[in-house]
Amino acid sequence: MKSILVIGGGLVGAACALRLQAAGVQATLIDPGDKRRGASYGNAGHIGSEQIAPWSAWGNVLRAPRSSFGAGGPLDFRWSDVALWTPWAMRFLRACDPMRFERGREALTELLADSLPAWQRLAELAGAPEIVIPHGHATAWMTPQGADLGLAAFAKAKWGRTTSYREMDAAELERYDGVLNRTPHAAVIFSGTGQVSEPQAARDAILASFVERGGEIVVGSAVRIEESARVLLADGGVRNADAVLVCAGPWSRVLMEQLGVTTPLIGERGYHLQSSETNWPRDLPTTVFDENFIAVSRFTSGLRCTSFVEFGSPDAPGDERKWRRLRQRIDELGLKFEANPDRWVGSRPSLPDFMPAIGRLERAPKVLYAFGHAHLGLTEAPITAEIIAAIVAEKTPPVDIAPFRIERFS
């Protein structure tokens, strides 16, 4: 294979384009050019090597009522999109079968085991090793009851082959005194996980290296792909190559279903508020405040607070109630935050079994795909790129990709 069209310039698409280019393939990246549109822009920047358990589990179903937005939790379904998420939810319930869940956990364990080293390899390839911060993240509980429940749940959970955690000592907890209105009652710190310096900065560095090496970025929207690897653009343009790689996040669904491929993708929408004013130290790790349903990350450009799991259309407008609730959580913690922070909403592309789709179409071998990474798109982007490069080179991928075939939904 000499040439490939990569549709979608988020972190997955950008990583794939650079890795394919480094393997000697002429890669052209096609992207609409709106950097704030996708999940790659506004996420928490966490390299979540520990998140090996698919969300498709009966325990999550049973917890759903008390996790709902109406009950103060992060989970919500856009009622205006009920026709979109109802069939997805039916597939989700089937994916909660204990045997399917366990197979999914085993597959994600393999995929995530090398996710942090894969990020370091990609950063080196891009000439920007500084974009990867390999210190672990933290989870904190502000109340005794929350700490008891949380620590008990953590002790029972599985965290993968390359990650572990320990409880913070009193001195480590006191580091939060200057940024919160009270000291957390308990917290844990992980090893084997990491963070990027800033999601958009990481994407920019990858794409800059791609362009410096001679890569082409076409600003435009792909509206149709054909089995011959012919791509039609919204402006009437046409592109041809030896192959096409679909990395269009939640918008991959339309492109794949044009080929008759069942692709039950939905937008798993997240929200953020970001303040340029902050006193959160640069070396204090990304911290999940479990009882407050909020993750706090310090980036070069400021302090970002992320939350919510809202299922619906990726193109729907943001819900003002979510930003108000997020601001309320920020104020409850006593974080220093500007009065008019940056607001963002974006869609993580989620399949019902919460595993990505990575591979080559069986009946159309010129079409490859890498999407559906849900809330692990940033984490899995570099290892996904290495898998795609191996497939294109007709080499054995670094992990077994059979569990990630899109044909599993046919």
Q: What is the pLDDT along the chain (410 residues), one digit of tens a residue?
A: 799 999 999 999 999 999 999 999 999 999 999 888 888 899 999 999 999 999 999 999 999 999 999 999 999 999 999 999 999 999 999 999 999 999 999 999 999 999 999 999 999 999 999 999 998 999 999 999 999 999 999 999 999 999 999 999 999 999 999 999 999 999 999 999 999 999 999 999 999 999 999 999 999 999 999 999 999 999 999 999 999 999 999 999 999 999 999 999 999 999 999 999 999 999 999 999 999 999 999 999 999 999 999 999 999 999 999 999 999 999 999 999 999 999 999 999 999 999 999 999 999 999 999 999 999 999 999 999 999 999 999 999 999 999 999 999 99
Judge whether 389 and 20 are in contact, CB under 8 Å: yes
Q: Looking at domain 3-409, what is its CATH homologous superfamily?
A: FAD/NAD(P)-binding domain (3.50.50.60)
Sequence ranges of the domains in the chain: 3-409
Question: Are the beta carbons of 50 and 159 closer than 8 angstroms?
Answer: yes
CA 211/CA 192 separation, integer angstroms: 31
Distance (Å, whole) CA 238 – CA 248: 17
Residue 13 CA to residue 17 CA, distance in Å, equals 6
The pLDDT of residue 197 is 94
Residue 36: the pLDDT is 87
> What was the pLDDT predicted at 1?
77
What's the pTM value of the predicted model, to 2 decimals? 0.97
Distance CA 108, CA 53 (A): 7
In terms of Cα–Cα distance, which of 151, 136, 152, 159 is closest to 184? Answer: 151
Please state, in angstroms and rounded to a whole number, the distance separating the CA atoms of residues 276 and 278. 6
Among the listed residues 149, 135, 151, 156, the one whose alpha carbon sits nearest the alpha carbon of residue 188: 151
> What is the distance between the alpha carbons of residues 206 and 200, in angstroms, rounded to a whole number?
10
The one-letter amino acid at 112: L
Spatial CB neighbours of 155, under 8 Å, sequence gap ≥ 6: none
| Predicted pLDDT of residue 37 | 82
